[in-house]
Amino acid sequence: MGSSSVRAGRVGLAVLLLGTGAVACSKGASEESPKMTPAAAVAKAAKNVEDITSLSYRMTGKMPEEGRVKAEAKMRLKPDVAMSMKITALDKGADGTAEIRLVDKALFIGGGAAAAKEMDGKSWIKFDMAALGAAGESLGAAGQADKNPAQESTFLTGSKDVKEVGTETVDGVKTTHYKGTVSLDQFRDSLKSQSKVTREQREKSLEQYEKLGIDKFTMDMWIGADERTKQFRMRGAADKGPLDLTITFDDFNKPVNIAAPAAKDVADLAEMMKGAQAG
């Protein structure tokens, strides 16, 4: 079980980042109506999040305790939720790299050759999220693995000081840069006018940050003329250090196919626990 603790330690970092994926939609400044205020553009962006069925993105920045991180991920939201992410904690050395897959409500954490040496040739650990139940709390933010990462971008709708910074080019895409500050309480208040489904989805995205002790964010959004956010940044002070993440989006609503690792390479946590109890 010692090896499973090592792998589980990576789950909190990796799955937390799922919550940090973000996306929104709006028109670039050059195509906006003169009456379109920054707040209105951000509100429209939040509305269009509801139409996203899949996305892929890159992430860089700093996480509380973990330090510098980078990741690449893709996620399918409909008809069912599936996700794949490769993540590296740059300050953790050889133990800082892991791969995550969420398939059929099972979370797989892969540690490559290093993990295989510790687990009789098995390079992946399987966590059945439904079976874990309350025990899932021991995996940090593992419960966020099936949440839509697009929701974090909607936080800026609660800002009282959102403004347009200017136009900037990101990865060759011309964008309009918006910036503002928002507290979690302000964002929650802004949800009162939303539908029940939308409100519940966005309130779930608050949970991981509340657990980190973050109560306020400084946020930046770079929105392209295709009415989608090309890049997004969120900064906040957590109980155990600063959070500063930048998400750059590559694709939206394109087919995403994710398969579970080969059974021969997977160690099932439930079976490991049964074996330990029998022993």
Which domains, from first to last, does the chain contain? Answer: 2-270 (2.50.20.20)
Residue 59: C-alpha distances to residues 16, 229, 230, 270 (Å): 12, 14, 12, 31
Confidence of residue 25 (pLDDT cuts 50, 70, 90): very low
Of 90-104, 157-171, 226-240, highest mean pLDDT? 157-171
pLDDT for position 50: 85
Among candidate residues 82, 60, 62, 63, the one with its CA nearest the CA of residue 71: 60
Confidence of residue 132 (pLDDT cuts 50, 70, 90): low
pLDDT for position 277: 52
pLDDT for position 135: 47
Whether the pLDDT of residue 250 is over 80: the answer is yes
Residue 14: C-alpha distances to residues 42, 86, 225, 251 (Å): 28, 8, 31, 21
Confidence of residue 84 (pLDDT cuts 50, 70, 90): very high
Q: Rounded to two decimals, what is the model's pTM? A: 0.78
Mean predicted confidence (pLDDT) in 138-149? 55
Q: What is the pLDDT of residues 200-239, one digit of tens each?
A: 878 877 888 888 899 999 999 998 888 788 888 999 999 9
The C-alpha angle 151, 155, 157, rounded to 5 degrees, equals: 115
